[in-house]
Amino acid sequence: MTGVLASQQIETLIAQGALRSDTAFAEGQMQPASLDLRLGHTAYRVRASFLAGQSRSVQSRIDEFEMHRVDLSHGAVLEKGCVYLVPLMEELALPDDITAIANAKSSTGRLDLLTRVITDGGVEFDRIPQGYKGPLYAEICPRSFSVLVRPGMRLNQIRFRRGQSVLSDADLRALHAEVQLVNGGDAVIDAGLGFSVDLQPTQDGVVGYRAKPHTGVIDLDRIGEYDPQEFWEELRSDKRRLILDPGAFYILVSQEAVHIPPGYAAEMAPYLAMVGEFRVHYAGFFDPGFGHAAAGGSGARGVLEVRCHEAPFVLEHGQTVGRLVYERMSEVPAQLYGQDIASNYQGQGLKLSKHFRS
């Protein structure tokens, strides 16, 4: 059956050897429609980001661009502004009818960690063709904060799909009429479900956060540990608008509360040049059950990881900034987002990553 593979189908891939690792898969690694990928033991500091290119291996490019190696075994700092390649613990031997797509995890994106998967022979980031057999690598470029990492940490996740499963606008309108995909506003459907930015001040006046330029290191294993004021500047705006600075990183939130029904998955399109020179999301996967009432939510707003390019840009309350692309699941997952899997962001509003104290 076509569609995005559910957790129980990913387990079948593991049993068949299409997804394998020399290190046993860990508890909590499986998500409703994806698998978390784990860092290996070595990081290669490289001169620049790259793709392997057709008929070339990633290792051959590492040999060409390596500056030095970092042993992660006892924890090591990946420094802000540097580019690293880390072999992942998982490898693929995909069947000829299954493709894969990778993306950063939510907490990774909220720390402004540019993290992408590359493969041997790859000509695109995060896109893995059907039948691919070989290793996986994470490219990691900390943009705002230096981070402490260890083997086994999970910065990326991978989704598998069989066939074409993206909903047309007509199908999306029909789904919205059936289950209401958006709370708090009309559904704007045009090549996906449109969403806008919320710059209405909260009770304490905050509309978002901007990363401070000179901060300490964040240990990715330390949850709820850090004082937000040491890393983030609170943003307030009585006029319900912000002027984005080129190169600065912002955490904002969508005006709409969105809903992903159990039989569907979604991905946030990261960049829409026609609405402004900025990127709104680094972690694009929305799992089945996100914002779903049966999973403890009644719609959840999307957190926007915003980086402005080229020129200062005025962002207004209610301005369209991106879209969600919905896909059919091949099967309904055995577990949904928010159901007994310690989901950190169910029912979320404006929220920093899980590493910061509330």
Question: In this structure, what CATH number is given to the domain that contains residue 185?
Answer: 2.70.40.10
On whether both 175 and 147 belong to a single domain, the answer is no
Residue 143 within a domain = yes
On whether both 42 and 150 belong to a single domain, the answer is yes
On whether both 136 and 27 belong to a single domain, the answer is yes
Tens digit of pLDDT at every position of the chain (358 positions): 899 999 999 999 999 999 999 999 999 999 999 999 999 999 999 999 999 999 999 999 999 999 999 999 999 999 999 999 999 999 999 999 999 999 999 889 999 999 999 999 999 999 999 999 999 999 999 999 999 999 999 999 999 999 988 999 999 999 998 888 887 567 889 889 988 899 988 777 899 999 999 999 999 999 999 999 999 999 998 889 999 999 899 999 988 888 899 999 999 876 555 555 566 666 578 999 888 765 445 678 888 889 888 789 899 998 888 889 999 999 999 988 765 544 554 445 788 999 999 8
On whether both 150 and 26 belong to a single domain, the answer is yes
Residue 258 within a domain = yes
On whether both 186 and 147 belong to a single domain, the answer is no
Take residue 125 and report the two structure tokens written for it: 């980031």
Q: pLDDT at position 311, please? A: 85
Measure the CA–CA gap between 217 and 198, rounded to whole angstroms: 30
Q: Which domain holds residue 272?
A: 169-328
Residue 186 within a domain = yes
On whether both 176 and 155 belong to a single domain, the answer is no
Label residues 142-162 b or e (16+ Cβ within 10 Å = b). Answer: bebbebbbebebbbbbbbbbb
Residue 344 within a domain = no
Final residue belonging to a domain, choices 108, 130, 162: 162
Residues near 102 by beta carbon (within 8 Å), at least 6 away in sequence? 37, 116, 117, 126, 128, 136, 156, 157, 158, 159
Final residue belonging to a domain, choices 115, 133, 162: 162
Take residue 354 and report the two structure tokens written for it: 């899980």
Measure the CA–CA gap between 346 and 294, rounded to whole angstroms: 12
Instruction: Record the pTM.
Output: 0.91
Residue 297 within a domain = yes
Q: pLDDT at position 335, please? A: 86
Q: How many domains does the chain have?
A: 2
Q: pLDDT at position 310, please? A: 78
On whether both 194 and 319 belong to a single domain, the answer is yes
Q: How far is CA 36 from CA 10, 19, 93, 161, 354, in A?
A: 11, 12, 17, 16, 17
On whether both 157 and 175 belong to a single domain, the answer is no
